[in-house]
Amino acid sequence: MTNSIKHQLDALEQQYELILQATGEGIYGLNQQGETTFLNRAAEEMVGWTQAELQGKCQHNLIHHTKADGSPYLDKTCPIYAAFKDGQVHHVDDEVFWRKDGTSFAVEYVSTPIKDSHGKLLGAVVCFKDITERKEARLALEETNRRLVAALEQVEQLKHRLELENAYLQGEIKLTHNFEEIISCSKTFKQVLRKVEQVAPTDATVLVCGESGTGKELIARAIHNHSGRKGKALVKVNCAALPESLIESELFGHERGAFTGAINQKMGRFELADGGTIFLDEIGEFPVNLQPKLLRVLQEGEFERLGSTITKKVNVRVIAATNRNLKAEVDKGNFRLDLYYRLNVFPIQVHSLRERKDDIPLLADFFLRKFSLKFSKKFDPVSQKVVNRLMDYSWPGNIRELENVMERSAIISRGPKLELSDALQSGGSEAESGEITTLAENEKKHILKALELTQWRVSGERGAAVLLGLRRTTLEARMAKLGITRRD
């Protein structure tokens, strides 16, 4: 070889060396045994090993021996080694190399096979770069996205809660109550109002007892509206109206897939009432098997949604109502004693209408004005004759029944003078004849008449329960008590 050619080759080698050392990517070479043949400056800086230290050493054992999680990385599965065995270029975008000081860093690399002029595999060249910043940026972006998704889920949950609260509030606005405000002049009811005034500012659990139609829900609303929770929702749950199979889901919510048909996550009534008040109407109908879960939320303020193991905490004031004797239900084994004591912290007994007959004229006048507006009719004040007949009646359905009677009377009256509906046509006959019968006898006659008018249909829109202003369960209980059975 002439000096000129040798000089040119040396110059070319120096040029390639300069390029090799100037590049920002780490580059090293391997022979077929996996031993290091060369190492550029960038590679030295990244791995902490010098070329002299790596020269002739097994590269894999020094910088590629372990995966990111610390588990061993066998050389037989190493893509770098695979390049000079199968002759293919191998690209890996997320692994780790280990430094001399025992630390690791994320890398992306390409292992390219080296062949001689005859195509024989001689080894491989590995080009790699530190992707730590890129990976951290990606992880940071993923974390940001995760937080955004979580935030959006919270927003959706809040939106869902607000929609549910709005639906409840709209329902409350549209709901027709027994009366829009407490109307009473009786001394017995004033005692009830004094109890409401005493307990309302506290967070004590209240048990409102009384017959159906006496206005127990109105008492619950009065307690809520005069408490520190009045700015939050008053959520009503009718325990008698909910099927036993759904009551747990309605009260405590459920997760998606918790049972057949649970296609979405659902927030329960207790969550909806968080910060406010929940009114458990007809608590005597609450299933025995769910009473421990109700007791827990009353005592600890915590529960799990159906299908979930995550405990949720709520701050809810509980007001319960019943037309049953809960102590008697405890004795029968239908109600837990500890739950009864937990509910009966502050009992309020709401008197029946026959025990506060002084209120009948006021209520009749109120209902007449209400239905006068509803039906766009003008009525004269309730006559004393009508008042007397109303006072003579026993009102087994209480205020709800009085309201229904006044509504029917307002419908059938053709002029300004109120005509009582058929339901009370015989209301004063016994008094006029001088014959006095017991309230039970009067009640039995009245129920029988309602059953005959409805062809012995108890429930439904055209049933006797609606006609009497009673709940189906209450009417059935009274029929059983009075010995009323269908006659052929």
Q: Cβ neighbours of residue 322 under 8 Å, at least 6 residues apart?
A: 207, 208, 209, 282, 283, 284
Tens-binned pLDDT, residue by residue, of the chain (488 aa): 555 544 444 444 454 455 566 577 899 988 888 899 888 899 999 999 898 899 899 888 999 888 888 889 888 888 988 887 888 999 998 899 999 999 999 999 999 898 887 888 888 899 999 998 888 888 888 898 888 888 888 777 777 767 666 655 554 443 333 334 677 788 888 889 899 999 999 999 999 999 888 889 999 999 999 999 998 989 999 888 888 778 888 899 888 777 777 777 788 899 989 999 999 999 998 999 999 999 999 999 999 888 888 899 999 999 999 998 999 999 999 999 999 999 999 999 999 998 888 899 989 999 999 999 988 889 998 888 888 889 888 888 888 889 988 988 888 888 889 888 665 644 444 444 444 566 677 788 888 888 877 778 888 777 888 878 788 888 888 888 888 887 54
What local confidence, expressed as pLDDT, does residue 229 receive? 93
- DSSP annotation of 75 reads G
Q: Does domain 176-351 have CATH number 3.30.360.10?
A: no
Closest among 274, 272, 255, 273 to 264, alpha carbons compared:
255
Residue 1 burial by Cβ neighbours in a 10 Å radius (0-12, 13-18, 19+): exposed
- 């809520």: which residue's tokens? 224
What local confidence, expressed as pLDDT, does residue 98 receive? 92
The CATH class that applies to domain 353-428 reads mainly alpha
Between CA 239 and CA 78 the distance in angstroms is 66
Q: Which two tokens stand for residue 443?
A: 């009640």
- Does residue 345 contact residue 207 with C-beta atoms inside 8 Å? yes
- Does residue 37 contact residue 20 with C-beta atoms inside 8 Å? no
- 């029946």: which residue's tokens? 352
Q: Cβ neighbours of residue 329 under 8 Å, at least 6 residues apart?
A: 284, 335
SS3 per residue for 299-331:
HHCEEECECCCCEEECCCEEEEEECCCHHHHHH
What local confidence, expressed as pLDDT, does residue 99 receive? 92
What local confidence, expressed as pLDDT, does residue 18 receive? 55
Between CA 358 and CA 371 the distance in angstroms is 21
- Pick among 3.30.450.20, 2.170.120.12, 3.40.1160.10, 3.30.1360.120: CATH of 15-130: 3.30.450.20
- DSSP annotation of 395 reads -
Domain boundaries, the chain: 15-130, 176-351, 353-428, 437-488
Q: What is the largest CA-CA distance in the chain?
A: 149
What local confidence, expressed as pLDDT, does residue 195 receive? 93
Between CA 390 and CA 434 the distance in angstroms is 17
